[in-house]
Amino acid sequence: MSFGRLGASNSSRKAIQPVTKYLFIDGACLRTTIEEIGKRYVPGQVLRIDYDRLTGGYDKVFYYDALPAKRNGETDEEFGVRRDAAIAFHDQLGSLDRFHVYEGDTRKSPTVRKQEQKKVDVMIAVDMLTHSFRRNMQHATLLTGDLDFKPLLDALVQEGMSVTLWYPPHKTNKQLISAADQRRQLDVQSIYPALRPASRALFSLPSGSGESSRGKIGRVLQAWDNDDGEIELFACPDQTYVLAMPNVNPGYKTYWTHSDLAILKNFAIEVFGLPFPD
């Protein structure tokens, strides 16, 4: 009796290996984006993030940020409070599983009246290239909106690394966006699920659904055309506002609904880049 064929069949099977994914975060970009989202949706409130949840799906997370520099007119005590808060935040992030935090310096530019980060950009570039050359990862994601990173993305792509850019929309240069293999917007829709419960309770996002066209569902506040078709904004009898947008399926519309008109408009502008007529 021979078991040759059975043995050959079993040995030819290959286990599917998981893809190792690393995330590299430009801390200044992430911090600024979260602050801007807070100002748009809940002015006067500070949004608190569950960073472990925000970065779910990545095997390792590398976070880079500069410690603050002293501001003009700031007392030593005030500066110490800000610097200690930044250090405490970095220590907190560094205590999370998968997280590795690296600090750079901040100093004033001699030619421009602003503060700029030193060492952070270089650390990100060196680490991403090193992990790529060593094949520690099969997929790299860079969270940034800084055009200075375009040569890095070009080098990683040419090296054969699969690269995703996670970027703040409407303020990131198109050349940087096009340099990556995949793109992901860093907007309120991607941040909201990672808000801590107290912050998530401060506001809600519009709900969306694709449906057969429902016609005039309320008082028309605005109506206009774009390249994809007609867009209408309704004030409905149930005290909600509905934005009806074109859908890829003929005869269908995508409806976004919210009770707060300002939130609905902010969401459409931020997520879809939708310009509202004056």
φ/ψ of 186, rounded to 5, equals -95, 85
Phi, psi angles (nearest 5°) of residue 36? -65, -40
pLDDT at 68 (0 to 100): 86
pLDDT by 10s per residue, the chain, length 278: 444 444 545 555 667 778 999 999 999 999 999 999 999 999 999 999 999 999 999 999 999 999 988 888 889 998 899 999 999 999 999 999 999 999 986 554 444 434 455 589 999 999 999 999 999 999 999 999 999 999 999 999 999 999 999 999 999 999 999 999 999 999 999 999 999 999 999 999 999 999 999 999 999 999 999 888 999 999 999 999 999 999 999 999 999 999 999 999 999 999 999 999 98
Domain 21-199 has CATH 3.40.50.1010: yes
Full-model pTM: 0.87
Q: What is the pLDDT of residues 74-91, one digit of tens each?
A: 899 988 999 999 999 999
Would you list the domain boundaries of the chain? Answer: 21-199, 204-272
